[in-house]
Amino acid sequence: MLSDSEGLRNSLHDRGQRLTPQRQRVLALFEQSGEGTHLSAEEVHQRLLRASERVSLATVYRTLRLLSSMGRLQELELPEGRRFELAGDTTRDHHHLVCVRCGRTEEFENTAVLVAGDEAAKAHAFRLLDCVLTVRALCPRCAEQS
């Protein structure tokens, strides 16, 4: 059985790229943070710097895009900006409820959303890769303040 590092190395090799220490460190950061952690490129960069890892912000951006395209990370568009989270079997096809005022984010699963996405893809001869819904709302605290 392949380790995550070997699997990533093989996936990159198949794309004609190599597993650099920076790519490995970015993915390791998400793996250590765990599923459900939503980080911006700047937050990834700052965490790596605090851990005495030498990596440029430009490299972080490129690595996040690459790991997202490979299905290792999931890219999210949240009110506070673009965020990334570890993609895994347990986080695939989950959705986000986001407060538009304070940015509080809650994850949820809903089979009906997945069915609707699958039906829409089939109706247009698409092949569904994943189905992600972001619900913009007000959390109870912000709604109370309105």
118-139 confidence digits (pLDDT tens): 999 999 999 887 787 888 899 9
Is 39's pLDDT higher than 50?
yes
The model's confidence at residue 114, banded by pLDDT at 50, 70 and 90, is confident
Average pLDDT of 106-110? 84
Three-state SS for 105? strand
Integer Cα distance of 1 and 32 in angstroms: 21
Of 87, 96, 101, 98, whose CA–CA distance to 129 is shortest? 87
Residue 58: CB atoms within 10 A of its CB come to 10
E strands along 32-92, which residues? Answer: 73-78, 81-86
pTM of the model: 0.69
* pLDDT bucket at 50, cuts 50 / 70 / 90: very high
| pLDDT at residue 90, rounded to an integer | 52
Residue 45 pLDDT: 96
Q: Give per-residue pLDDT as tens, 64-91.
A: 999 988 888 888 877 778 889 888 655 4
Please state, rounded to an integer, the average pLDDT across all residues of the chain: 85
